[in-house]
Structure formats: C-alpha cells, structure tokens
Chain A
Amino acid sequence: MTKKSNQSRLYVPEPPFRPGDTPDYSHIAVPANHSPPRPDPLCEDHETVEHATSLIRVMRFNGEAVGDWAPKLTADQKRKGLRDMMLTRAMDDRMFNMQRQGKMSFYMKSRGEEAVSVAHAMALRKDDMTFPTYRQQGILINRGAPIKEMMCQCLSNAGDRLQGKSIPVLYSFRDYGFFSVSGNLGTQMIQAVGWGMAEAYKDSDGIASAFTGEGATAEGDFHYALNFASTYRAPVILNVVNNQWAISSFQGIAAGEGETFAARGCGFGLATLRVDGNDFLAVYAATQWAAERARKGGGATLIEHFTYRKEGHSTSDDPTKYRPENEPEVWPFGDPVDRLKTHLIHIGEWDEDRHAAQAEECKVEIRNIYKEAEKMGSLSSATNVNDFTMFEQVYEELPGHLQAQVEAFKEEL
C-alpha cells in the first residue's frame, strides 16, 4: 500500500492500488459485532456522531442477522428484496450487452450496489419522493415500475415516455416517486430538500430522499443541501453512495482521506449514519430509522452507504485501465445478492436450487421484456420517435414562435 505522507506540502491523493498491483484490503476492518447501538429516531443529532465514523451492519458473513438494528422483515419481504436485486442485475447485464451490440449509445450498471437502492426503496413509503442519481434503478424495480418503459427510455424509441428527449438511464417516473435523474451532478440534493419542505408546507407527512455518489459530494450542491436541510429541519434523507470510485478517481479525491462522508453531516448538525451498503438488512434498517425521524418532524439524516462499484462507471470506460482487475473480488464486504441469499438459507427460507432457478427466471423475464421493448425501435434501427414531439413540453403550452417552427417543419417535410 502506498505510504501516506503527512509531511508533503503538495499532496495529491492516490488510491492504494492501480492496475498491476495486488489489492489487499485487509487493513479495512469489517466489524462483526460492533455496530453502534440504535438510538431513538427522534434523538438529538449529536447522539449519532459515533454512527458517522463506525459502520452499521446486521448480517454476518455466515448469514446470521445480529444486533438491535436487525429489522423485523418477513421471509417473503426478504425474498422479494432478493428477487428485486437479481432482476436489477439481470436487466443491467442485458442492457450492457445490448449497448455493446449498438442498440443504445450508453448504459450504466449498478452491480454490487443493488442493496442500496432496493432496500432503501423498500423501507420508504411508495409515495415518498426519491431524487436518485444514475445508479438507483433498483428503486424503480422495487416499486414495480414497468421495466419495458425503462428499456424503451434507454433505447429512446416509440415506447419512451420521455419521447426521445433524454439520454439513456436518466429515467423520470413521477408516478413511481422517481424524480428525473439530472445529468449535471448534485442538483437533486438541494431540490429534494425543497420538495421535502413543500411536503411539510402542504401538511403532508411525505418525505423526500436524495442520492449522490461520493464523488459528487465535492459539488457545492451537497453542502448547500446539508445546510438547508439543517436550517429548516427538512423532512429528507440525504444519501451518499460511497462506491469507492468516481470513474477513475478513488474516493479520497472527492473529500480527502481524513474523515468519512457521513461525518460531513456532523458539522451541519444533522443525524448521521454510516451503513454497510452491501448488507441489505442494514440498509433497510438505517433507512427505516431516517424515514421515521423525517416523518415525525425530527429533521434530516445523512446516510453514507459504504459499498463498491463492481463494474465500470458506464459503458464508456474500461475499469481495468485504472484499478486492479480482481479488486471487486477481494473487496472485503462481499456481494449484496450473495449475502442476502446466505442469510435466507441460514434461516431456512431459501436454498441453492431455488436461487439458481430464480436467476434463470430473471434472465428469461428480462430477455422477453427486452424483445418487446426493442420491437418499438432502437439506435441501430429506427427510433420511431415522432418528429413533432421535439417541439412539445418546452413550455406547458406551445408558444407562437414554436408553433411557427412546427408549421415550417411540416412544410419542409
């Protein structure tokens, strides 16, 4: 491991391992029984200071669920969570392959981070608004959004509810509580605070939950959001998905190597939780805690989900160019699907055969949905998006000058 100097006057942090190195993460402690206690969700913010630097975990690697954070979920609920994660993964694999075959210009997988989105969504109410970034497709899968429509959005075809107006994976599903993913990073954080405040203004008990990667916590948006969430005690959850990598920059580039991302909330007087993001039950428990706090007027919580991005940032980069090829396998927190599977087997509610059958079932389901989606058009055929939709939704109504452009366009055709 690169020795960290505390004496250099010009210091640029470097990740511990680059291609060619043998990654060894044995220095990262994986706490087994040392999760900090679960305080009352309406506690004072300073009572969560230690939660910002430790790690909330529920599942041991042998599948046992321990500690007072262990959520009371039925086996059916856990199996639903497992299936949602597997379906998300199957969809990601399929879409990635289809991008490679020229059917869409771009795609982003969430492998390794499925628990963050699926367990989080499961612990919220369906009408709570989420403000995701581009790797929370698991929220949509969990909430039962039509997968075909998600695919059509990526294919930008006649079935795209955005009518070809946005790039792949910038989903927008208001009816599933999924805010339009923004291409310029971070804006959703402060907008979620505004949305949450609007819920309170309207006397509704709805909350908002926003996501950013650890890299984009360097954006001012993140700090503004924390400040406003604190000032107005907004009913929101602010999530940092620390998946270690922002394209090729390791997490130390975003914020230095001194402190955790959750700890950034302490100075703002927010409740702060740091959770093992590969532990489905722990993510569920942390979200449930923060949601209760927000809903009951206790204010906002900053949650850092400590996880690992197992694939490239998107279809546009090649991770083997900037990190060791086997780093995902040696990451000490395992895989979220495997870990929940092990837990379900441990409690006698699952087995290897059912798991294998379900993996195949997800693959076939996704394949069949994809076939239907591609019939409506793709990048490599015709997109079939109606030309005239181009002029719509610039404004709520079509203004005169755009109407004139529509007429001129019709004449040209």
Chain B
Amino acid sequence: MAIDIKMPALSPTMEEGTLSKWLVKEGDTISSGDILAEIETDKATMEVESIDEGVVGKITVEAGTDNVKVGTVILQLLEDGEDESVLRDAAVAAPQDEETQTVPTSPKPQTTAPHPEEGAKATVSKDVPSDPAIPTNIKMVDTTVRDALRDAMAEEMRRDEKVFVMGEEVAEYQGAYKVTRELLQEFGSKRVIDTPITEYGFAGIGVGAAMGGLRPIVEFMTFNFAMQAIDHIINSAAKTLYMSGGQMRCPIVFRGPNGAASRVGAQHSHDYSSWYANVPGLKVVAPYDAADAKGLLKAAIRDPNPVVFLEHELLYGETFEVPDMDDFLIPIGKAKVRREGADVTLVAHSRMVGRCLEAAEQLAAEGIDAEVIDLRTIRPLDSDTVIESVKKTNRLVCAEEGWGQSGIGSEIAARVVAEAFDYLDAPPERVFQVDVPLPYAANLEALSLPGTEDVVKAAKKVCYV
C-alpha cells in the first residue's frame, strides 16, 4: 500500500495552510530526510521532510493551493516493488481519525448469571496465603494496639537497617499517641526523625527516600492532615512504578490514626478508607485487633509496594491477645472470619469490627446467628471471603464509620450482588455515618456515627425480623 504523506500543522491552532512549493515531482526517488515541499501560513513557513523512502507516486495537491486542510493527503509514496496500481483516489480522502483503524473490536462479555445449584467458580483467593499457624506452645500476651504497632516497627527496624520512621513528634515526644514509644532511645535520631510541620514535605521526603532504596515509615499525626500529602501518596508513590515501567520502586508505609475519635470535630474525624481504596498501586490496610495490627504492619513494612496503614485512635488503648512469636506476619489481602454464623454476614473493618461483634452477641440473644468478617485489608479487597459467607447466610450487612456514598460498603454490596445475586434472600444493607461533617457536641456526634444498635437494626432488616 502506498504511504500517504499528509498536510502537517505548523502550530497547534493551525487548521489549514498554503502548499506553496513542491521540491519533488512524480517519479522521483526520495530517501528519508529529503525535503518534499514547503508549506506556509500567514505566520511561518515549514519544510515537509520525508520520513520514509520510495518513489513519488502521485502529487495530490498542486503547488500554490491555498486553504489545504491539515491532515489532507498531499502526496502518495510508492514503496519498494509497488507500482501505481496501489494509488487510490486521494482527492476524496478527507482527514480521518486514525485511531479508529487500530482499535480491535471485542465481543460483548457474557452476561449469563451462574445458577446457584450449578455452583459458581471456586472463588478462594489463591494468591494470598492464610494466617500463620500459631503453635500450641506459644504464649498469648495481652497487648494494646498501640504497643503492638510499636513492637512491629521496633522488630522490623532491628531486622532491616533500611527501615526508619519519620513524622511530627515521633522522636523526643514519642509520638502524638505514643505509638513510637522508646524507638528514639533504641534506634537514635537518625532512624527516628522529627520533621517540620508539613505533611506534604515529609511525605515527599519519604517517597524520595523509598525510591532511593530505603524503607520509610511515615507517621501522620492523623490521616486528616495527610490531605496535604495526598499528592505524593497518590500521584507519586502509587503511580511512579507504573509510569517508570517498573524502574522506580516505592516501598513505603504511610501510617496513622484514621476516622473519628471523641470530640475532635469535623477536621479531625474523617474516615479516608474509600479514598485510598480507590487507587491502583496502593495497598490499604485497616486492622481491628492488636495481633492483626502487629502482623499486618510488619507485612506492610516488608511489602515492596506503598501501603496506606489506617489505624484508629479509639483502638490504640484496647487490649487484645498477641502471640509471642518471633516473626508474626499476617498476609495483606486476606479477610478474617471473626465469628462464624449461619443467618447473616456482617462485614466491617477497623473499629466497626468491634461494633459488629457486639451486635452479633445481641442478635444471638434474639436467635439470629451472625457471621462477622473483618476485612483487615481494603485494597486488594478480599471479597471472595465475603461472597463465600453470603452463599451460606444469604444475607449481608456492610458496616463502616465513613460516609455511605462510594463507601467500602457500596463496593462490597456491588460485588456480592454481581457475583452472588442468586444467593441473596434480601437486598444488602449498609450502615454508615450520617451524611454530615462530624459535629462536635457529644450528643450530635453520637447521633452521627454508626454504632452497635445500627448494625443490629440492619441485620434484623435483612432477616425480615
């Protein structure tokens, strides 16, 4: 096929111009780099250079023609061995969108739903290992979530010199919530680094250091303040591996409390789970108990990808059992069934897991056997564990502290409806914060946030009780 040489644009705003002069004629042999013609507008003149080689087959626009539209074929070039029979009537060939030629047409995806009796495809996430087996002789130690997080950082800092922690007040003050307690004393000021008060700045330092081969842990005093740093978290940490074709790795953990505490108002109570969960390239973790906090933070520090680690201020002081093991790692990307049940599936993450467990107790007293799933990781989201559960209970309640629109519950509900619609005996219910910025006054705050009673109510609704 002949090569079409088209009218080029001298500037982005140029739509047409004058083909002032041809420097070649039909039958000429040309090689790459030869000047073919001159074109001009009222402002400038440009030479049209040939990129290809061949024989000038046909000049389709005469010299001296004004108002030649950009993209019009002006010359057809014959390649080696071609003759004039390949030339088509280019005079009618208007400029066209070339991209349409290369887009493959794909068949429509199948829309047939699987029938429950046939059994849908096995949906256990094969690529994520399960929790480590805890040997029976291992002692369980009562630990606060705060100390579990601290221990995780200390252990990983002992294990790998490339790990360091930085943030506001993490060193001398031991962290605004004392999560970095005694780290300065053990590791010194070059590995436990106080920063100027600018989340944007130290998030950027962290990203640069991670790409430079270290493994930073960046503590935000709260994720509310990380709004300032979100450009580095999303545009740089999450996207640069991809945009660099795999050259720039970013093993970094952004951690800190997320969501509502008590009486700290709208700007200190925002739950960012669904914000970060939306972004490919990030992993997002939001543990509930101390063992998960420790095991998942250790895994996050070792992960080669950027991890957003969402803690909860109101859980820091809660005590749970943590196995006294040397290398206790919980795999990122695996949900945990915290309570088995047959009648309804309650799905939550972070502090709402506790609310769901309380709700399950209340429901049990009323004869409803609830299963409670702790998502633990929000991205990648282990919806398979939820779907397996719903296939058993046929009812779903998604609970979260954040707002409802585009929330984690919406995502879970959508996936369950798409993949297990025929198993559902009731529309999924969602429990979430009232759609207002969190108010300060205690009574208003309590009314805004979802609690145990809301979960109980939703569970009864899907059970038609």
With A371-B32, A412-B109: A396-B305 Cβ-Cβ less than 8 Å = yes
In the complex, the answer to whether A393 meets B208 with C-beta atoms within 8 Å is no
Bound-state CA distance A42–B240 (Å) is: 35
Q: Which of B6-14, B356-364, B445-453 contacts A (4 or more CB under 8 A)?
A: B6-14
Q: Is A306 an interface residue (CB 8 A)?
A: no
For the complex, is B243 an interface residue (Cβ under 8 Å from A)?
A: yes
What is the distance, in angstroms, from B11's C-beta to the closest C-beta of chain A? 4
Q: Interface-forming stretch among B124-132, B172-180, B393-401? A: B124-132
Task: Determine whether the beta carbon of A182 is less than 8 Å from that of B242.
Answer: no
For residue B4, give the distance in angstroms from its CB to the closest CB of chain A.
10
Would you call A399 and B51 a contact (CB within 8 A)? Answer: no
Selected contact of A393 from candidates B102, B104, B242, CB within 8 Å: B242
- Judge whether A192 and B11 touch: CB under 8 Å: no
Q: How far is the CA of A170 from the CA of B98 in the complex (A)?
A: 24
Given known pairs A412-B106, A412-B107, A413-B104, the reply for A98 and B246 (CB within 8 Å) is no
A364 to B32, CA, bound (A): 10
| In the complex, residue of chain A having the shortest beta-carbon distance to the beta carbon of B245 | A162
Q: Which residues of B contact A191 (CB under 8 A)?
A: 204-205, 207-208, 211, 232, 236
Are B204 and A193 in touch, CB under 8 angstroms?
A: yes
Residue B316 is within 8 A (CB to CB) of chain A in the complex: no
**Closest CB-CB distance, A147 to chain B, in whole Å?**
16
Interface segment, one of A198-206, A254-262, A294-302: A198-206
Interface residues of A in 102-132 (CB under 8 A from B): 102-103, 129
How many angstroms between the C-alpha atoms of A94 and B196 in the bound complex? 46
User: Do the beta carbons of A187 and B236 come within 8 Å of each other?
Assistant: yes
Whether B201 and A371, one on each chain, are in contact in the complex, defined by CB atoms closer than 8 angstroms, is no
Query: What residue of chain A has the Cβ atom nearest to residue B236's Cβ?
Result: A187
In the complex, chain A residues whose CB is within 8 Å of the CB of B206: 194
Q: Given the complex of chains A and B, what is the CA–CA distance between A229 and B98 in angstroms?
A: 48
Chain B residue nearest in CB terms to A129: B212
In the complex, what's the smallest C-beta–C-beta distance from B368 to chain A, in angstroms? 32
The stretch of A10-18, A23-31, A244-252, A312-320 in contact with B is A312-320
Q: Does A97 contact B (CB under 8 A)?
A: yes
A282 within 8 A of B: no
**B354 touches A (CB below 8 Å):** no
B200 touches A190 (CB 8 A): yes
Report if B280 contacts A (CB, 8 A): yes
Complex CA distance for A61 and B345, rounded to whole angstroms: 80
Option from B232, B243, B333 in Cβ contact (under 8 Å) with A400: B333
| A393:B245 contact, CB within 8 angstroms | yes
Taking a contact as CB atoms closer than 8 A, the residue among A101, A227, A316, A394 that contacts B12 in the complex is A316
In the complex, are the beta carbons of B106 and A413 less than 8 A apart?
Answer: yes
Which chain A residues lie closer than 8 Å to B11 at the CB level? 318
**Given the complex of chains A and B, what is the CA–CA distance between A194 and B48 in angstroms?**
46
Nearest Cβ on chain A to B460's Cβ, whole angstroms: 33
Does B341 lie at the interface of the complex (its beta carbon under 8 Å from any beta carbon of A)? Answer: no
**Cα distance A364–B248 in the bound complex, in angstroms:** 34
Known: A165-B242, A174-B248. A201 touches B209 (CB 8 A): yes
* Interface residue from B46, B205, B244 paired with A100 (Cβ < 8 Å): B46
Q: Is the CB of B209 within 8 A of A198?
A: yes
B167 within 8 A of A: no
B100 within 8 A of A: no
B213 within 8 A of A: yes
B322 to chain A, nearest CB (A): 27
B85 within 8 Å of A by Cβ? no
Partner of A318, one of B8, B12, B51, B235: B12
Task: Determine how close the nearest CB of chain A comes to the CB of B70; give it in whole angstroms.
Answer: 9
Chain B CB within 10 Å, residue with most, of A103, A318, A320: A318
Q: How far is the CA of A231 from the CA of B164 in the complex (A)?
A: 18
A 137-166 to B, binary, CB cutoff 8 A, 1 in contact else 0: 000000000000000000000001111011
Complex partner residue of B8 from A102, A174, A403, CB under 8 angstroms? A102
Determine the chain A residues whose CB is within 8 A of the CB of B128 once the complex forms: 400
Contact of B209 among A162, A195, A367, A371 (CB under 8 A): A195
- Checking B109, B196, B249, B333 against A228 with a beta-carbon cut-off of 8 angstroms, the contacting residue is B196
Contacts of A169-194 to chain B: CB distance below 8 A:
170, 172-175, 179-180, 182-184, 187, 189-194
Is B211 in contact with A315, judged by CB distance below 8 angstroms? no
From 4 to 52 in chain B, residues with beta carbon under 8 angstroms from any chain A beta carbon are: 6, 8-13, 32-33, 43, 46, 48-49, 51
A165 and B205 contact, CB distance less than 8 A: no
- List chain B residues, Cβ under 8 A from A370: 51
- Complex Cα spacing A316 to B13, Å: 8
Q: A400, B12: Cβ atoms under 8 Å?
A: no
Chain B residue at minimal CB-CB distance from A102:
B6
B241 at the interface (CB under 8 A from A): yes
Contact A320 B43 (CB under 8 A): yes
| Chain B proximity of A230: nearest CB distance (Å) | 9
Q: Which residues of B contact A394 (CB under 8 A)?
A: 241-242, 280-281
Q: Which chain A residues lie closer than 8 Å to B281 at the CB level? A: 394-395
Q: How far is the CA of A223 from the CA of B11 in the complex (A)?
A: 35
Interchain nearest-CB distance for B346 vs A (Å): 23
Chain A residues, Cβ within 8 Å of B283: 395
User: Could you say which of A180, A196, A392 contacts B243, with CB atoms under 8 Å apart?
Assistant: A180
User: Is the C-beta of A361 less than 8 angstroms from some C-beta in chain B?
Assistant: no
Question: Would you give the shortest CB distance from A390 to chain B, in whole angstroms?
Answer: 10
Q: Smallest Cβ distance from A190 to chain B, in angstroms?
A: 3
Contact with A along B87-100 (1 / 0, CB 8 A): 00000000000100
Flag B265-283 by CB within 8 Å of A: 1 or 0 each. 0000000000000001101
Residues of B within 8 Å of A166, CB to CB, are: 243-245
Cα–Cα, bound, A220→B206 (Å): 17
Q: How far is the CA of A375 from the CA of B243 in the complex (A)?
A: 23
Contact assessment for A201 and B164 in the assembled complex, using a CB-CB cutoff below 8 Å: yes
- Do residues A395 and B49 form an inter-chain contact, with CB atoms below 8 A? no
In the complex, are the beta carbons of B245 and A172 less than 8 A apart? yes
Measured CA separation A327–B26 after assembly (Å):
41
Which residues from chain B contact A97 at a C-beta distance below 8 Å?
Answer: 8, 46, 49
B443 to chain A, nearest CB (A): 39
A-side contacts of B202, CB under 8 Å: 228
**CB-contact partner of A187 in B48, B127, B209, B235, under 8 A:** B235
Interface residues of B (CB under 8 A from A): 6, 8-13, 32-33, 43, 46, 48-49, 51, 71, 98, 102, 104, 106-107, 109, 125-128, 164, 190, 195-196, 198, 200-202, 204-214, 231-232, 235-236, 240-249, 280-281, 283, 304-305, 333, 380-381
A-B CB contact pairs (8 Å), 8 listed: A101-B48, A102-B6, A163-B245, A166-B243, A172-B247, A195-B212, A225-B204, A400-B125
Give 5 nearest A-B pairs by CB, closest first. Answer: A194-B208, A190-B204, A191-B208, A198-B212, A194-B205
Interface residues of A (CB under 8 A from B): 97-98, 100-103, 129, 160-163, 165-166, 170, 172-175, 179-180, 182-184, 187, 189-199, 201-202, 208, 220-221, 224-225, 227-228, 231, 315-318, 320-321, 325, 364, 367, 370-371, 374, 379-380, 382-383, 392-397, 399-401, 403, 408, 412-413
| A-B contacts besides A100-B9, A393-B241, A393-B245, 5 pairs, CB < 8 Å | A180-B243, A190-B200, A194-B212, A231-B196, A395-B283
